[in-house]
Structure 1
């Protein structure tokens, strides 16, 4: 049975994601609108809502397809797990502190809350859980961390720290990266 309504166009979908990336780069999340995205992409608002239920869902898909953060921070591997985690946490905190990015984090949280599939796709696309877990597992294997360290819980606690900062909209203390890592490694 054929579905009713206009047929979804992959070309329009791609144009919307590209427009979202361009507008996000120039205006930030808080000034991004469905109307603006539609105008930039050369499509109607209805076309956007045919693919996505909300602005946060469009932004999440743009992020998943590397339209927003193609160079997101990765955990370094210098052989010193404590220093590597502190450097990574600090780079994420600095990224989120940039104008426009704080709203992005809240948007992604909202999109993941609205749709569990988006949350799973974001996690897979950004690779945060997997890459941090891989780095932690390597440190455990190298004897830098205790063999019984609960890796999954450690990673979730570390990422949860960023989520709380974004939701609270508080300015992180200058040494927050070091304090977060120290608290989790004790």
Structure 2
């Protein structure tokens, strides 16, 4: 990932930053993306909405993609946590339902979809999105499935990566094409791919 000359490649660790200004930038980017879309989102507009100087944003983030990634990482951690401690069949099913709701109803879900779309024709976005968001979350989802299988909660029919793709891929596709994701679809995916064992 490319970054500003003397700054770290990602802005996560800026201890001297004003936290209120940082959050204002993240919220402004989130709101403006939802209102106007990715292509119309500019650093100038984010700075105006957040009430900070454009130069301040460039000191903290090298691009609007990195701002959106910070927004997505923080919001996903709060609103779409991956079940970690002793995941059950019910908690895994709940996670997949929550993922569908996140994409359909949460502003941060629009950020995720915008970054997926942008990554298709921008190699820099694709690399940063994979390194900062997709790979760490995929590791957590893999662990979730592994622990669930070890505890006898689920019996996946595919290898972990194929299972995650088969569970979440149809949900992402429907969200990208503007279709709703019925709960029955989620339940069918979970039942067919994970074969949760009754307690």
User: TM-score scaled by structure 1?
Assistant: 0.70
| Residue of structure 1 equivalent to 2:34 | 30
CA contact (8 A) 2:104 2:175 kept: no
Distance 2:53 2:34 in 1: 21
Distance 2:101 2:176 in 1: 16
Distance 2:107 2:22 in 1: 17
Relative to structure 1, the CA distance from residue 150 to residue 99 in structure 2 (aligned partners, 3 Å threshold; closer, same or farther) is: closer
Superposed CA offset, 1:93-148 (max 9, x none):
12222253442122221354422133221125xx4312221121122222344487
CA contact (8 A) 1:28 1:100 kept: no
Superposed CA offset, 1:21-55 (max 9, x none):
22256x363226323311225222796499444x4
Distance 2:57 2:99 in 1: 34
1:118 to 129, 132, 140: 129
| Residue of structure 1 equivalent to 2:99 | 92
Gaps of 5+ in 2: none
User: How large is the Cα RMSD of the aligned pairs?
Assistant: 3.7
| Residue of structure 1 equivalent to 2:25 | 20
| Residue of structure 1 equivalent to 2:190 | 181
Write the mapping of 1:71-110 to structure 2, written as runs, cut at 5 A. Answer: 71-76=78-83, 80-81=88-89, 83-98=90-105, 100-110=107-117
Relative to structure 1, the CA distance from residue 168 to residue 7 in structure 2 (aligned partners, 3 Å threshold; closer, same or farther) is: same
Gaps of 5+ in 1: none
| Residue of structure 2 equivalent to 1:44 | 54
How many residue pairs get matched?
Answer: 175
